[in-house]
Structure 1
C-alpha cells in the first residue's frame, strides 16, 4: 500500500474560512456537502460490509465520481474566476490531472472490454449444450489469464498523479496565509477533495483488475489541517476497503471482484465435472453459470455507462476552466484595441 501525505495541507490553516466571503463560502459548502454524502453512500452498512468489492459497488463508485466532478464543474462555473496568474497555474494543473485521469478511464474501459469478451466466450460455450466441449472453457481460461498492458501501466499513472500534486504544491504557498485570493483557496480545497476521492477509488479499481494491492493508496488527512466535512466518511470507506482487499490476498484468492470470483468458481467446478466424468455437463449447473454470466455482462455495461459519465464530467470541468483563460485573452485583446 502506498502512504501518501497531503501535499495541500499548508493551504488550509485553521480558521481560514474567516477570510472567505459568504457567497464563495456557500459554493464551497455546497460542494463539500455533496462530496460527503457521495462518499458516505459508498460505505457498506450492516451485512453489506462483507465481501463488498462487487460490480454493483464499482457502478456506485463510478457514479459517485461522476457526481463529484459534475459538482466541481458547477463550482468552477459559479466561482466566476477572474483568471489571475495563480488561477492560470491552477487551471493548467487541473488540466494535467484531468488528462491522466482520462487515461486511467480509457485503461479501465479496455479491461471491461476484455472481461466482456470472456463473458462472450462462455455464452458461446453454453449456447448449444449438446456441442459443449472442454475446449470452450480452455479458451475462456486462457483469455482470463492474459494480461492487459494498459492496466499494467495504471500504477505508473497513479504515482504520476500524486507526484504531480506534490510538484505543484510550491505554486500555492503564496496564498496559504493571505486574506486575498479567496477564490483560489476555495478552488484548491474543492480540487483536493475531488482528487482524494478519485485517486483512491481509481487505486481500488486497479487492485480489483490486476489482482494486486501494490498500487492501492492509503491517503491520510493531516491532523493540523482544518477538518473537512467529508474526512470521516472517507477514512471509514478507505479503512474498510483496504482491510477487505488485504484479507482477500491473505486468503490466496486471486479475484478481488466477487462477481468474477463466482463465475470463475462455477467454471472450474463445471470443468472438473466434465473432465472427471467425460459426459455432457449437468444442465442445471450450466444454466446457473450461464445466468451468472448474463447478469455479470449487464452489470459491466452499467459500469461502462457510469465511466462514460465520468469521462464527460472530467472533460466538462476542463473545458469550464479553459473558458476562463479564453475569456481573459479575449478581454486583453479587446483592451489593446
Structure 2
C-alpha cells in the first residue's frame, strides 16, 4: 500500500472535498446545527453509559463488549451522517483518498490484533478443560496430568502477543494525528469534521484500553485532552479519568477480570494437586474444582461475545472502505493504480 509522506496526517482526513458540496461560507444552518447536536448528544449518552458504577466492572469482558458495541454504533452513526449531509466523493484529492484508506487499514490491523488475542485466550480454555477433565476422578496419576495442563495454561496465558504490541504502535500514530483538519467555506464540511473528531477520540480511547488489557500493561493507555466546546467532552473526560485511573491504581494489574478469577481458582487448586488431597480437605478441593469450572465457562462465554463485537467492528470499517472504493471507481475519480495500491491484503 502506498503511504503518504507528510508526517502526522489527520485521522480520517477528508481534505477539502467540500468546496463544491455547499454554498460558500461556513455558517451552520438550523438543519446542520440539529444534525450535529443530535450526533454529539447521542455520543455523550453512550459515553455516560460506559462509565461503570462498580469499579470491579472495569476490564471485565462484559464491559469490553459494551465498549466495542458502543464504538460500532458510533461508527454507524457517522456513516449515516455522511449520507444525510450528501457529501460527494467526486472532488476528493488522491492524496486524501490515500490517507483515508491508509488509516482504515490501520483500524483493520488493530481489529485483527484484538481477534488474534481473543483466539489465543480461547485456546487457553482448551487446557483448562483438560485440567477439569482430569480432576473428575482424583488420583495421583490424573493429578500429574492436571498439573501439567495447568502449567501449560499458565505459560500460555503469560506469553506475549506480538500483534497486540504492534497495535499499540499503530495507536500511538493515530493519537499523534487527532488534530482537527481545517475546512473553509463549507458548513457541511465543518459539521462532518466536528462529528468525525468525536468518532476519532472514542475509537482511540477504547482501542487503547483494549490494548492495555490484552498486553497487561497500563503504559499502553493514552490520556486524550478534549476541548470543552464539544457536548460530549465532559462525559468523555469523566469516563477516561475513571477507566484509566482505576487501571493505573490497581495493584497487580491483571489482563481481564474473568481471567483473574480463573487464576485465583487455579492457584488454590495447584497445591492440592501437588501434595494430594487430605481427607479433611475433600470438600474444599471439590469447591475449588467447581469454582475453576464456573470461572472457565464464564471466561469462554465472555470471550465468544466479545469476539463477535470485534468482528462486527471489523466489518463496519471494511464495508465503509469498500463503499468508498466503489464510489471512486464508478465516478472515475482516481486511477486504477491508486485503488489497487490500497487493496487490503
Contact 1:55–1:300 (Cα < 8 Å) also in 2: yes
- Tell me what 2:79 maps to: 73
Query: What is the DSSP-based 3-state SS (H/G/I as helix, E as strand, rest coil) of the residue aligned with 1:315?
Result: helix
Residues 77, 320 of structure 1: 8 Å contact kept: no
2:97 and 2:198 map into 1 onto residues whose CA distance is 16
Measure how far apart 1:96 and its partner are.
Answer: 2.4
Distance 1:81 1:258 in 2: 44
Match of 1:34 in 2: 42
Q: 1:267–1:289: 8 Å Cα contact kept in structure 2?
A: yes
Change (3 A) 1:309 1:185: same
Native 8 Å contact 1:76 1:320 kept in 2? no
How far residue 256 of structure 1 moved from its aligned partner, in angstroms, is 3.9
Residue in 2 that maps onto 1:271? 270
What are structure 2's unaligned runs of at least 5 residues? 1-9, 16-24, 335-345
Give matches, 1:105-124, under 5 Å. 105-124=111-130
C-alpha change, 1:84 and 1:24, in structure 2 (3 Å) is farther
Give SS of 1:153's match. Answer: helix
- Aligned equivalents of 1:299, 1:244: Cα separation in 2: 21
TM-score by length of 1: 0.81
CA change 1:296–1:49 in 2 (3 A) is: same
Pick aligned residue for 1:240 from 236, 239, 242: 242
Q: Matched residues in 1 for 2:32 and 2:175: separation?
A: 28
Which residue matches 1:288? Answer: 291
Note the alpha carbon deviations across 1:49-81, whole angstroms, 9 max, x for none. Answer: 345221110000010011011111111222211
- Given the alignment, which residue of 126, 139, 143 partners 2:156? 143
Is 1:221 the equivalent of 2:229? no
1:23 aligns with 2:31: yes
- Mapped to 1, the partners of 2:97 and 2:239 lie a distance apart of 29
Deviation at 1:330, TM superposition (A): 7.1
1:230 to 222, 229, 232: 232
* 1:219 alignment partner, SS class: coil
The structure with the greater share of residues assigned to helix is 1
2: CA distance, partners of 1:210 / 1:307: 17
Separation (CA, whole Å) in 2 of partners of 1:266 and 1:29? 49
Choose the corresponding residue for 1:52, options 50, 58, 67.
Answer: 58
Query: How far apart, in 2, do the equivalents of 1:214 and 1:62 lie?
Result: 21
Conserved in 1, the CA contact under 8 Å of 2:247 and 2:253?
A: no
Q: Are the equivalent residues in 2 in contact too, given 1:31–1:71 (CA < 8 A)?
A: yes
CA distance in 1, matches of 2:36, 2:84: 10
94-103 vs 148-157, which moves further: 94-103
Match of 2:254 in 1: 255
Distance in 2, matches of 1:28 and 1:94, equals 22
Give 3-state SS (helix, strand or coil) of 2:176's partner.
helix
* Separation in structure 1 between the aligned mates of residue 28 and residue 169 of structure 2, nearest angstrom: 37
1:186 and 2:186 are equivalent in the alignment: no
TM-score, normalization by structure 2: 0.80
Taking CA–CA contacts closer than 8 Å with sequence separation of 6 or more, which of the two structures ends up with the larger relative contact order? Answer: 1
Deviation at 1:275, TM superposition (A): 1.9
Structure 1 gap segments, 5+ residues each? 1-6, 12-16, 332-337
Candidates 152, 161, 170, aligned match of 1:157: 170
CA apart distance, 1:121: 0.7
Q: Which of 102, 106, 120 is the equivalent residue of 2:108?
A: 102
Pair 1:231–1:97, CA change in 2 (3 A): same
Please tell me whether the aligned partners of residues 92 and 333 of structure 2 are also in contact (alpha carbons under 8 angstroms). no
What is the SS of the residue equivalent to 1:19? coil
Q: May I ask how many residue pairs the two structures share in their alignment?
A: 304
Question: Given that residues 108 and 151 in structure 1 are in contact (C-alpha distance below 8 angstroms), is that contact kept between their aligned partners in structure 2?
Answer: yes
